A and B are shown apart, each in its own frame.
Chain A
Amino acid sequence: EGQLVQSGGGLVQSGGSLRLSCAASGFSVTNNYMTWIRQTPEKGLEWVSLLDSGGSAYYADSVTGRFTISRDNSKNTVFLHMDSLRADDTAVYFCAREHNSAAFDYWGQGTLVTVSS
């Protein structure tokens, strides 16, 4: 049974940076597609970024150039480094595993990121 445990997040000023972590157990992040998804009441669930098993990274247009997804294989952890944060980045951020290019089967517990202007 897989599990994802998130850390990081919090309150940051507009223009600032933050790093989110997502530690996996029960499976290897290296061999899986790992994703970040965020949620707000206004926009609902929004796909943010993907790191595939080959190490290629993909981003939503809204975060391209500002967010970076990466992983530490030795820690079995995926990260989302967020720069130049804006008020509209305020959301609950979830990490999730996309299993076999299909549904998101494992999710982290979510972490709130608040960007103050």
Chain B
Amino acid sequence: DIQMTQSPSTLSASVGDRITITCRASQSIGSRLAWFQQKPGKAPKVMIYKTSYLESGVPSRFSGSGSGTEFTLTISSLQPDDFASYYCQQYNSYPRTFGQGTMVEIK
């Protein structure tokens, strides 16, 4: 199985901050990576797929980059609605696997 490792586990930030979350795969997954946002009691919501493609309706302050084994999610200017947990997920092979998550909290 491909292991996905996210860092940091928790990120404290303020509205307007630029933040970056890192995701590393235990082997190359090309660009087959997605990012999800999850709020308490809700299902995850896909934000980015294929490393850098924004899902329809996702604000342009979100961006993704990387390839192979190292990937990043960046929020250019954090907004109140962005405080949530974020997960990366690889879809290069089965079983699909997720990172352990990054909680973005208000500083």
A residues near B, CB below 8 A? 35, 44-47, 50, 58, 60, 94, 96, 98, 101-105, 107-110
Query: Whole-angstrom distance between the alpha carbons of A41 and B8 in the complex?
Result: 17
B residues near A, CB below 8 A? 32, 34, 36, 42-46, 49-50, 55, 87, 89, 91, 94-101
Q: Is the Cβ of B97 less than 8 Å from the Cβ of A47?
A: yes
Q: Is the Cβ of B43 less than 8 Å from the Cβ of A45?
A: no
Which residues of A have CB within 8 Å of B89? Answer: 45, 103-104
Query: Whole-angstrom distance between the alpha carbons of A29 and B43 in the complex?
Result: 19
Q: Would you call the interface of chain A mostly helix, strand, loop, or mixed?
A: strand
Q: Is the Cβ of B43 less than 8 Å from the Cβ of A94?
A: yes
Which residues of B have CB within 8 Å of A107? Answer: 43-45
State whether A102 and B34 are in contact (beta carbons under 8 Å apart), knowing that A47-B95, A107-B44, A109-B43 are contacts in the complex.
yes
A50 to chain B, nearest CB (A): 7
Q: Is the Cβ of B94 less than 8 Å from the Cβ of A58?
A: yes
Which residues of A have CB within 8 Å of B45? Answer: 107
